[in-house]
Amino acid sequence: MSKTYEHYQGAAHHHERAAYEFQEAAKYHQSEEFEKAAHHAYLAHGHSAHAVLHDIAAAKLCVGRFDVPATPGIEETEDKIAAA
């Protein structure tokens, strides 16, 4: 399994956990159990932050794999001038 795929899977897992914790926080907030709501909101924030880290790591791997210079380098330009 590629590292990029592993990071995407990790991000998806943490996004799902964050969504669950946010739902739990909302449920406890409605029932006015604010201490439990705060705890679940804290957990949701942590899962969201961890998901973002996985997203960033996957993006870095993708950019590194497909990083092709958009403009020709100085060597290529000099070669074309010399050939003309």
pLDDT tens digit sequence for 54-70: 999 999 988 876 655 55
The reported pLDDT for the residue numbered 49 is 95
| Per-residue confidence in pLDDT tens, the chain, 84 aa | 688 889 999 999 999 999 999 999 999 999 999 999 999 999 999 999 999 999 999 999 888 766 555 555 555 555 556 665
What is the Cα–Cα distance from 42 to 25, expressed in whole angstroms?
9
**Residues of the domain holding 54:** 3-83
- Give me the number of domains the chain comprises: 1
What is the Cα–Cα distance from 15 to 46, expressed in whole angstroms?
10
Cβ proximity of 27 and 81 under 8 Å: no
Scanning 1-84, the segments in alpha helix (DSSP H) are 3-30, 34-66, 74-83
